[in-house]
């Protein structure tokens, strides 16, 4: 592609992106294609010669776009958001154009130094005290794996990487039964093993880890000759927004010399609003904390903020320094590739810098407060409706509910969430609460308005009524 064509197609792609974002409310939120429909339109063999860019772009619109679920849709209420504020998208254009490999300070000094600054901005914004240092990981999964590896190395006297795990004592990691499955993967990948992740029951309205049970489990494992290594606490669990008593978890863990990692992947963004910080009271004493600006804050994926009290422990666990990666003649620099599992690193700090400068903390706080308020209002309206029940009360902007109907309640709930998603106007997901299926609702999409929350209520009630009508017709025809 020559310079003229590159300019032409870059401008066309940017214009397409702007038009796409403007048209989202007119599109169904979730892809409406059947399995295999996209693959069937793509040739089985790669092209032998180059093709015209116009034809490629037309196929993108004709083949690919219909199979996309629109995560930036203002009525995306499923999972957690993966927001990409427009200003973040603009920053990503620049990052993509430069295509820098930012693994070391010397490979792009601005990327390293900006990362240091914007992570400290975020530290201040969410109320973490001085003494925490930040690094951008690709996802909370990588941050949690890094924390688990530090737990492992500290517990084994820094011999795990050196000698392997076969000859080492058996380690134990503790978490509630409400944590994300990324914790399971971290246990697998770290070599600690699934059977050594001790699930502590959660209880109470916040589904918090039972800290008496936590201490009993630690003591029991010590007595059995096992080695407790760390605790993973949760603020804003994926299923229902579970929040551990962070202060009490840390008190118990630190009394036994255990490392504490706090997973606040979704809910951590809300901590830019002081009134929500009671949900993780005591976090200032944690050893490691993660939240994802690419969820609720508006930074395009991927961008996970990982704060650690002792970067030296992280570097000691992860750093490898062959001669070709050393920076000579520069003292006091940071090479963030030594703080992360991958060596290669994208310039993720730029989109955070653009985002925070363009919207300011006040703009982002207003967005989050609106989402929380609109979600609570929706929960109240459903609770007042005779055909619905609230299963778990709103935790920030997340709650779960059921529609009351005759027959198998789980089957009905699954049928309802499928019908809602097939309708296309909104997108929801299901979860299990105390063994039974419930429907999750979370407000968090960057461009959502109060009208979108009102639309959600109308769609939920309308589709549920239609489903009941189908049941009645079926019964009458028997």
**pLDDT tens digits, residue range 266-289?**
999 999 999 999 999 999 999 999
pLDDT at 13: 93
Query: Does residue 396 register a pLDDT over 50?
Result: yes
The average pLDDT across 225-253 equals 94
Query: Does residue 329 register a pLDDT over 50?
Result: no
| Predicted TM-score (pTM) of this structure | 0.90
Confidence of residue 323 (pLDDT cuts 50, 70, 90): very low
Query: Does residue 476 register a pLDDT over 80?
Result: no
Mean residue pLDDT of the chain comes to 91
Distance between CA atoms of residues 239 and 266, nearest Å: 11
Please report the domains of the chain, with CATH numbers, ordered by start residue.
3-81 (1.20.1340.10), 100-347 (3.40.640.10)
Residues making up the chain, counted from first to last: 478
The average pLDDT across 223-233 equals 95
The encoded tokens of residue 119 equal 């992570």
CA 218, chain centre distance (Å): 29
Q: Give the contacts of 351 (CB within 8 A, at least 6 positions apart).
A: 88, 91, 92, 95, 299, 300, 303
The encoded tokens of residue 267 equal 């809910």
For the segment 332-357, what is each residue's pLDDT rounded down to a tens digit?
688 888 888 888 888 899 999 999 99
Which residues are bridge partners to 173 per DSSP? 197, 230
Query: HSE (CB half, 13 Å, CA atoms) of 224?
Result: 13
pLDDT at 150: 95
Other C-beta atoms closer than 10 Å to the C-beta of 60 total: 12
Query: Does residue 238 register a pLDDT over 80?
Result: yes
Instruction: Supply the DSSP string of 68-113, one letter for each residue.
Output: ---TT-TTB-SSS-----HHHHHHHHHHHHH----SSTTT-HHHHH
pLDDT at 101: 84
pLDDT at 450: 96
CB 292 within 8 A of CB 303: yes
Report the relative pairing of strands 304-308 and 133-137 from DSSP bridges.
Answer: antiparallel
The encoded tokens of residue 50 equal 């180059």
Q: Give the contacts of 158 (CB within 8 A, at least 6 positions apart).
A: 316
Burial of residue 108, with CB atoms counted within 10 A of its CB: 0-12 exposed, 13-18 middle, 19 or more buried: middle
Instruction: Supply the DSSP string of 293-311, one letter for each residue.
Output: TTTTT-PPSS-EEEEES-H
For the segment 242-255, what is each residue's pLDDT rounded down to a tens digit?
999 999 999 999 99
For the segment 409-424, what is each residue's pLDDT rounded down to a tens digit?
999 999 999 999 999 9
Distance between CA atoms of residues 461 and 426, nearest Å: 12
The average pLDDT across 432-436 equals 91
Confidence of residue 478 (pLDDT cuts 50, 70, 90): low
The encoded tokens of residue 179 equal 């944590």
* Longest pairwise C-alpha distance within the chain: 85
The average pLDDT across 368-381 equals 96
One-letter-per-residue 3-state SS of 147-166: HHHHHHHHHCCCCHHHHCCC
Output the CA torsion sign for 413, 418, 424, 428. Answer: positive
pLDDT at 164: 84
The encoded tokens of residue 466 equal 């239609």
The average pLDDT across 182-200 equals 90
The values of phi and psi at residue 288, to 5°, are -155, 135
Greater confidence (472 vs 72) lies with: 72
Report the relative pairing of strands 202-203 and 208-209 from DSSP bridges.
Answer: antiparallel
Distance between CA atoms of residues 301 and 45, nearest Å: 31
Greater confidence (370 vs 98) lies with: 370
Tell me the C-alpha to C-alpha distance, in Å, between residue 228 and each of 182, 251, 257, 282, 439: 20, 15, 9, 22, 36
């Amino acid at each position: 592609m020559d310079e003229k064509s590159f300019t032409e197609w870059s401008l066309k792609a940017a214009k397409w992106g702007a038009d796409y974002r403007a048209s989202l409310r007119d599109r169904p939120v979730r892809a409406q294609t059947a399995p295999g429909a996209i693959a069937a339109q793509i040739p089985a063999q790669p092209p032998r010669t180059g093709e015209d860019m116009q034809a490629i772009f037309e196929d993108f619109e004709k083949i690919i776009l219909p199979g996309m679920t629109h995560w930036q849709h203002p009525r995306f209420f499923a999972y957690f958001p993966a927001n990409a504020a427009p200003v973040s998208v603009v920053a990503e254009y620049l990052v993509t154009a430069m295509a820098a490999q930012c693994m070391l300070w010397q490979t792009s000094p601005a990327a390293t130094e900006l990362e240091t600054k914007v992570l400290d901005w975020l530290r201040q914004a969410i109320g973490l005290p001085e003494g925490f240092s930040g690094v951008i990981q690709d996802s909370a999964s990588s941050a949690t794996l890094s924390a688990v590896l530090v737990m492992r190395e500290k517990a084994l006297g820094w011999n795990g990487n050196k000698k392997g795990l076969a000859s080492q004592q058996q380690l134990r990691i503790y978490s509630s039964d409400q944590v994300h499955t990324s914790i399971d993967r971290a246990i697998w990948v770290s070599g600690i093993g699934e059977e050594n992740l001790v699930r502590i029951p959660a209880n109470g309205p916040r589904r918090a880890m039972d800290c008496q049970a936590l201490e009993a489990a630690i003591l029991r494992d010590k007595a059995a000759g096992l080695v407790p290594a760390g605790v993973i606490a949760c603020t804003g669990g994926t299923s229902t927004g579970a929040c551990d008593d962070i202060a009490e978890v840390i008190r118990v863990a630190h009394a036994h010399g255990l490392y504490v990692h706090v997973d606040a992947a979704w809910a951590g963004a809300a901590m830019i609003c002081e009134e929500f910080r009671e949900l993780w009271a005591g976090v200032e004493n944690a050893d490691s904390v993660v939240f994802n600006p690419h969820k609720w804050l508006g930074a395009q994926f991927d961008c996970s903020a990982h704060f650690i009290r002792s970067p030296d422990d992280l570097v000691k666990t992860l750093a490898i320094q062959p001669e070709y990666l050393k920076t000579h003649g520069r003292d006091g620099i940071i090479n963030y590739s030594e703080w992360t599992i991958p060596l290669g690193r994208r310039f993720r700090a730029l989109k955070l810098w653009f985002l925070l400068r363009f919207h300011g903390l006040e703009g982002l706080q207003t967005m989050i407060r609106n989402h929380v308020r609109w979600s609570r209002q929706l929960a109240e309206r459903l609770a007042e409706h005779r055909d619905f029940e609230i299963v778990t009360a709103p935790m920030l902007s997340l709650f779960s509910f059921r529609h009351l109907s005759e027959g198998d309640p789980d089957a009905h709930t699954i049928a309802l969430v499928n019908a809602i998603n097939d309708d296309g106007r909104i997108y929801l997901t299901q979860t299990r609460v105390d063994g039974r299926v419930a429907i999750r609702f979370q407000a968090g999409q960057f461009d959502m308005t109060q009208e979108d929350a009102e639309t959600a209520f109308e769609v939920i009630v309308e589709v549920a009524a239609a489903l009941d009508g189908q049941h009645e017709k079926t019964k009458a025809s028997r």
